[in-house]
Amino acid sequence: MTGAPVPAGCDAVVPIEETLEEDGRVRIQGKVERGDHIRNQGEDIAAGVLVIPAGTTLRPPEINMLASFGKAFVSVFRRARVAILSTGDELVELGDNLTPERIINSNALSLAAAVKEIGAEPVLLGIARDNRQSHLEKMRQGLKADVLITSAGVSAGDRDLVREMLDELGVKPVFWKVDIKPGRPTAFLMNEDQPVFCLPGNPVSTMITFEELVRPALLKMMGHTKIIKPFVKATLTEPVRKKAGRVHFLRVAVTAGEQGWEVSSSGDQNTGILRTMVRANGIALLPADRDVFEAGEKVNVAEMFEG
């Protein structure tokens, strides 16, 4: 039967469904070749060959392979615990009483989903209100995780307290403001060896900066070797105009055309328009030194999120 050791002296196996039993004897139907239906030792993995290299994501095939070698335990990178903090008096949690002057804290949920999608563990801290005590209390909790991500409160307004409060807690700034759109007010800080990402509050800016800046860092922390999504060349089906001076991440719909991949804007690129994110399946990277891209030009496009 399948899986049994081959008897000594046997050099071929005939499936039982290809035989007939007649008067206590077996009639073999068809030709039999040496080695038929025999799996030789070492034909899958030869002696001395590396089975699974470090940095490999353990999917079902890798689990099967490890188990077949009797490996009940292997060394792995721990999932990063990622604390997520939203800021603002205007926010309410999903399910709470929503009044006309309030906004649902949707950014925290999208960030948690994005964190979970790459195999990390999200820790939702809730909402820091626009006062020092609330910020300090929530941030102290967040600094106990492996990574802290904040949403909103990172610009230059009177109630943008995030960077000031992190400075008071001894977190060291690395940079503030990036020449990209959307996402210019993004800040990055370090609390000794703990990364802190302060993302803008507009929903699109939050998701784009996570995808472009935070996601690769989390993957690197968790031992991944492929952390940057590859670009493909795609043809613009319509002209695109932008202001020169900043790299633009254009939300696009990618489709297969007769001559290869084609892209068009997924809609209004305003950072408060979530519908454009839902429609998009890619991000086109438009260089900072140009302002006009004509229909028919090829641009670099990467997949947005998974799937």
| Rounded CA separation 73/140 (Å) | 35
The reported pLDDT for the residue numbered 297 is 96
Domain boundary among 177, 195, 221: 221
Is residue 32 in some structural domain?
A: no
| Rounded CA separation 173/167 (Å) | 8
Joined tokens for residue 32: 């039999």
User: Do 133 and 171 share a domain, yes or no?
Assistant: yes
| Rounded CA separation 261/301 (Å) | 10
Mean pLDDT of 166-177: 96
18 Cβ partners below 8 Å, 6+ apart? 28, 29, 30
Tell me, yes or no, if the pTM score tops 0.85.
yes
At 71-121, the pLDDT tens digits run 999 999 999 999 999 999 999 999 998 999 999 999 999 999 999 999 999
Give the mean pLDDT of the chain: 94
CA-based nearest residue to 242, from 304, 186, 183, 180: 180
Q: What percent of the chain has pLDDT over 90?
A: 90
The reported pLDDT for the residue numbered 279 is 94
Indicate which CATH number applies to the domain containing 181.
Answer: 3.40.980.10
- Categorize the per-residue pLDDT at 259 as very low, low, confident or very high, splitting at 50, 70 and 90: confident
User: Do 119 and 187 share a domain, yes or no?
Assistant: yes
Range of the domain at 204: 81-221
Is residue 48 in some structural domain?
A: no
- Whether the pLDDT of residue 57 is over 70: the answer is yes
The reported pLDDT for the residue numbered 41 is 87
* pLDDT higher at 205 or 55: 205
Indicate which CATH number applies to the domain containing 284.
Answer: 2.40.340.10
The reported pLDDT for the residue numbered 90 is 94
User: Do 91 and 190 share a domain, yes or no?
Assistant: yes
User: Do 213 and 168 share a domain, yes or no?
Assistant: yes
